[in-house]
Amino acid sequence: MANKDIFYLESVFPEADKVFSSNYPTIEEIKKKCIFILDTNILFVPFDTSEKSLAVIGEIFKQLKVDSRLFLPARVAREFAKNRGKTIGDVFLKIRQKKNGLNSGGFKIDDYPILEHNDDFIKLKENFSAIRKLISESRELFSNIENYILSWNWNDPVSNTYKEIFTPDIVIEMKKSQEDLEKDLKFRIEHKIPPGFKDSGKIDDGVGDLIVWQTVLEIGKDKNMNVILVSNDQKNDWYYIQDKTGLYPRFELFDEFRRFTNGNSIAMINFPQLLKMYNASEDIVDEVENSIRELQEHKQNISEILWLRRNIEIEMRSIVQSYLSDEQKDRFEKRFMNISIMINIMKENDLFSQHFLRELMSFYQVASRAAHEVVNLEPQYIEMGKIILRTLKENNK
């Protein structure tokens, strides 16, 4: 009890009398006289949109900058620098996968002498030949695009646009000391106070969100203005979530911003909302919405892959351990790293009994089906399946 802060809620809401009496204006009420602050995820959206959309986005950002209404936390710039290369790499990978998927082998038709004078067969051969030519030309165009991407240094179209906009005067450093921020982060993680606690498992304990938030607070106070934070992130340490839908921002954020900025208010919108606010055309908004959806699905797939891989390894590890002696278990624990090593341990300890293999195979088949729904199985999983099947066949001889 001595080390437990049972009165933490008094620290989170120190002005209880303001909970009911404070006024939090709507987005419509503040949008004409506020400043806009961009989160990191906003900067990556244009990498997956057309040049037309990029141009419109650039013009909106430029207008906000001219009006002294656009700011970027320095942490956002740093996260952009860290992840830009990976984002471009994802674009390159999509192009290469599309190119590799263009295979002309399926458009080769055999000769059938008995049909050589048939008009339809002659036309069919001409069509197949034209398709094969188009595929070959398309693969060459894909290669040219790959080389174009490879020629980028820091001069890709998106980065070039940002150079004109995010000049040093609008990239704002956080003033709070790192020591004080660490104490703040620890308190928020311990009591699940937004933002940052959702990412506490990251290598940096999820400090990025808190740095961005602290900078938002400081900008709002220094400029003495209401703020609209533009972000596509709707995690539960920013929003109230119900049925996987972000309803509205956490009240703790509204209250903290009001107190820190001496009465100003904050609102949060996503990128499509900002574009609509500045009269972007419907096709631009639709493209950005599709881009955001694909990015979110990609992130979800990565999470599912990591979860699936870990659970496959845990379950297979459990099955293997149930067949080991205490001495073998000790060796197993010391050497266990992944499925590839597990396969070797199974071989060393002659574990390929019929019962064991059938139990393992039953799980493997379920895991394989689940994995294929997310991504192609990694080589070690495929190798595991081959060994199981091969050994089952050998034992059935």
**What is the mean pLDDT for each group of 10 consecutive residues in the chain (397 residues)?**
74 85 87 94 91 94 96 96 88 82 68 83 87 87 89 89 95 95 89 74 72 96 95 76 72 91 92 94 92 72 52 58 60 49 54 54 53 46 52 51
pLDDT confidence of residue 383: 53
Measured in whole angstroms, how far is the alpha carbon of residue 137 from the centre of its chain?
33
69 φ, ψ (degrees, to nearest 5): -125, 10
pLDDT confidence of residue 81: 93
Model pTM? 0.70
pLDDT confidence of residue 335: 46
Q: Which amino acid appears at position 16 of this protein?
A: A
In angstroms, rounded to a whole number, what is the distance separating the alpha carbons of residues 47 and 65? 21
Q: CB of 312 within 8 A of CB of 319? A: no
Q: CB of 200 within 8 A of CB of 189? A: yes
Q: CB of 207 within 8 A of CB of 222? A: no
231 φ, ψ (degrees, to nearest 5): -155, 145
pLDDT confidence of residue 371: 46
pLDDT confidence of residue 4: 75
Question: What is the number of other CB atoms lying within 10 angstroms of the CB of residue 178?
Answer: 10
Q: CB of 357 within 8 A of CB of 395? A: yes
pLDDT confidence of residue 244: 66
Q: CB of 374 within 8 A of CB of 301? A: yes
Q: What residues does 171 pair with on adjacent strands?
A: 72
In angstroms, rounded to a whole number, what is the distance separating the alpha carbons of residues 86 and 389? 38
Which strands make up the sheet holding 70-73, listed edge to edge? 171-172, 70-73, 34-38, 226-230, 266-269
Residue 345 tokens read as 């341990």
Measured CA to CA in angstroms, residue 279 lies from 179, 274, 301, 352 at distances of 43, 9, 33, 66
Picking from 126, 143, 163, the residue whose alpha carbon sits closest to that of residue 43 is: 163
